[in-house]
Amino acid sequence: MHWGNHNHLRLSRILKSLQVLGLENYAQSLLQCLEQLFILEEGKITKLTLASWQDAVKAH
């Protein structure tokens, strides 16, 4: 994955899709992994991107 590209938006869509398909546990697990990457890869994922991922899971 190249940090900072359109793959971040794809991940938002994946998170939303998992929930629509009734796979909320998978969406939560993926979000937890992404939150860990946010911490471990400091500066490569923006706070705005992280918030977008979190909103994608909470919105459903």
Q: Is residue 17 part of a domain?
A: no
Question: 53 lies in which domain range?
Answer: 25-60
Q: Is residue 31 part of a domain?
A: yes
Query: What residue has token string 């938002």?
Result: 12
SS3 60: coil
Write down the pTM of the prediction. Answer: 0.86
Q: Is residue 49 part of a domain?
A: yes
Q: Is the pLDDT of residue 59 over 60?
A: yes
Amino acid, single-letter form, for residue 7 = N
Q: Is residue 50 part of a domain?
A: yes
Distances (CA, A) of 7 to 22, 45, 53: 23, 11, 12
Q: Is residue 9 part of a domain?
A: no
Q: Is residue 12 part of a domain?
A: no
Average pLDDT over residues 7-32: 95
Looking at the structure of the chain, the number of domains it has is 1
- When pLDDT is cut at 50, 70 and 90, the band that residue 53 belongs to is very high
SS3 6: coil
